[in-house]
């Protein structure tokens, strides 16, 4: 199955769970893409003792998951793309939704 995950939060536990879900899906053999938008583009800078979203994101990328980050959302926060979170557009988000069999959001 092809799964699309939209993460719109910088709340540590929710962002962590969103990427953790993606990792579980990859381990079960699914194709997974994550689109970060709104506060979700801050995921690499989330720090929390218990909910390490950045570590989950790095594992996701290492295991072949695809990560896209809303360029407008990054720019509005004076952030730039990273190796893990490349600059993407709403068209990329639409394409992900069309590609996916199922889409979930966090």
Predicted confidence at residue 81, as pLDDT, reads: 84
Spell out the domain ranges in the chain: 2-105
pTM of the model: 0.94
Predicted confidence at residue 6, as pLDDT, reads: 98
Residues 25-76: tens digit of each pLDDT: 999 999 999 999 999 999 999 989 999 999 999 999 999 999 999 999 999 9
Residues 62-106: tens digit of each pLDDT: 999 999 999 999 999 998 888 877 899 999 999 999 999 999 999
**Alpha helices, DSSP H, located in 1-106:** 12-27, 53-62, 71-76, 90-99
Residues 4-33: what's their mean pLDDT?
A: 98
Predicted confidence at residue 89, as pLDDT, reads: 96
Predicted confidence at residue 82, as pLDDT, reads: 84
- 84 or 5, which is more confident: 5
Which CATH homologous superfamily contains domain 2-105? DsrEFH-like (3.40.1260.10)
Which residues neighbour 37 within 8 Å (Cβ) at sequence distance 6 or greater? 6, 7, 8, 69, 70, 73, 93
Q: 50: helix, coil or strand?
A: coil
Q: 3: helix, coil or strand?
A: strand
């Amino acid at each position: 199955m092809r799964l699309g995950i939209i993460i719109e939060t910088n709340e540590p536990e929710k962002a962590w769970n969103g990427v953790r879900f993606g990792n579980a899906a990859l381990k079960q053999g699914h194709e997974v893409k994550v689109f970060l938008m709104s506060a979700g583009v801050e995921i690499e800078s989330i720090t929390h003792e218990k909910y390490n979203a950045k570590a989950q994101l790095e594992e996701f990328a290492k295991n072949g998951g695809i990560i896209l980050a809303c360029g407008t959302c990054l720019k509005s926060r004076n952030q730039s793309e990273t190796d893990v979170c490349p600059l993407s557009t709403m068209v990329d988000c639409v394409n992900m939704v069309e590609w996916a069999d199922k889409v979930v959001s966090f």
